């Protein structure tokens, strides 16, 4: 069974600092996704990573994928308060029983 782990689970950081959220998964996967969820809100897609070495950037967020290490990272550069949210990674496979398996989520709080 595919397992997806994120760390840290909780992250409190000051504005202007850099940090990285890690997403490890247990078996070979074809696709990896990052989602953002604000309190009481829906999940918003941030990045879709489809191949080994894929790197995508949007504003202060950058996501990368290493399929050999079964690891994805979400890097936050010069954090701002608006980035406070819960971030989820999710993994699935193209062939077989397709379903997204979500990580535990990382609750990020940016302190002014």
Partner 1 sequence: DTAVSQTPKYLVTQMGNDKSIKCEQNLGHDTMYWYKQDSKKFLKIMFSYNNKELIINETVPNRFSPKSPDKAHLNLHINSLELGDSAVYFCASSQLARGQKNTGELFFGEGSRLTVL
DSSP for 54-91, written as a single string: -EEEETTEEEEEETTTTEEEEEE-S--GGG-EEEEEEE
Nearer to partner 1, 42 or 68 (CB): 42
Exactly one of 13, 48, 62, 80 binds partner 1 (CB under 8 A); that residue is 48
38 lies in the binding site for partner 1 (CB under 8 A): no
Per CB under 8 A, contacts with partner 1 among 51-80 are none
Whether the Cβ atoms of residue 97 and residue 27 lie closer than 8 Å to each other? no
Which helix H or strand E contains 111, and what residues bound it? strand 106-111
Binding site for partner 1 (CB under 8 A): 31, 33, 37, 41-45, 48, 50, 86, 88, 90, 92, 94-95, 97-102, 104-105, 107
């Amino acid at each position: 069974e595919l397992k997806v782990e994120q760390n840290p689970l909780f992250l409190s950081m000051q504005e202007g600092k850099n940090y990285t959220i890690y997403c490890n998964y247990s078996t070979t996967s074809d696709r990896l996704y990052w989602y953002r969820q604000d309190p009481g809100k829906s999940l918003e897609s941030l990045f879709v990573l489809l191949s080994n070495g894929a790197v995508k950037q949007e504003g202060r967020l950058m996501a990368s994928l290493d399929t050999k290490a079964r690891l994805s990272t979400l890097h936050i550069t010069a954090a701002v308060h608006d980035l406070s949210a819960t971030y989820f990674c999710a993994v699935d496979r193209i062939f077989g029983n397709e379903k997204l398996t979500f990580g535990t989520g990382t609750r990020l709080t940016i302190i002014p």
